């Protein structure tokens, strides 16, 4: 499958997100800075506690021995310009630097994680394995 077709399928899946999980046009922080030592958003997520804002931090559906690079869906926290909170970018793939596709920006980690889980569960079967060339 070529990259253009893959992105079109991802966009189609994201367009079907239920309203409570849709990324707002302009995400505003919920004012809470995520505690990097806290548990990941759900049992499906793995956290890399050695990251900084702007780097992929949460990774969906990895096995115990899987490298982080194998994640299909990742969350990248970003500090807000005022430094008073965070927003969370959701990616299919790790980040734009790694060829990932941004799915949306959220003001709350739990909603971002739920959207990532929904997208992963609703991707076409052919997209269930990360398809970006290394």
Would you call 108 exposed, middle or buried from its count of C-beta atoms within 10 A (0-12, 13-18, 19+)?
Answer: buried
- For 51, the domain range is 3-127
Q: How far apart are CA 12 and CA 71, in angstroms?
A: 20
Helix (H) or strand (E) holding 11: helix 3-15
pLDDT score, position 128: 52
22 located within any domain: yes
97 lies in a domain?
A: yes
Spatial distance between the Cα atoms of 90 and 110, rounded to a whole number of angstroms: 12
State residue 18's pLDDT score: 79
> Is residue 132 in some structural domain?
no
Residue 115 resides in a domain: yes
Cα atoms in the 13 Å half-sphere on the side-chain side of 15: 6
**134: in domain:** no
In a domain, 133, yes or no: no
Q: Say if 30 falls within a structural domain.
A: yes
Residues across the chain: 134
Number of domains in the chain: 1
Over the chain (134 residues), what is each successive 10-residue block's mean pLDDT? Answer: 65 74 66 59 88 87 86 88 84 76 90 92 65 43
Residue 133: what pLDDT? 41
């Amino acid at each position: 499958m070529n990259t253009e077709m893959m992105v079109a399928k991802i966009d189609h899946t994201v367009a079907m997100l239920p309203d409570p999980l849709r990324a707002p046009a302009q995400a505003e922080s919920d004012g809470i800075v995520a505690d990097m030592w806290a548990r990941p958003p759900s049992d499906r997520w793995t956290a890399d506690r050695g990251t900084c804002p702007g780097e992929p931090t949460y990774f969906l559906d990895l096995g115990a021995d899987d490298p982080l690079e194998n994640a299909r869906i990742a969350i990248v926290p970003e500090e807000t310009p005022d430094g008073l909170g965070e927003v969370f970018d959701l990616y299919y793939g790790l980040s734009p630097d790694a060829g990932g596709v941004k799915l949306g920006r959220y003001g709350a980690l739990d909603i971002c994680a739920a959207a990532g889980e929904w997208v992963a569960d609703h991707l076409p079967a052919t997209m269930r394995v990360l398809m970006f060339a290394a």
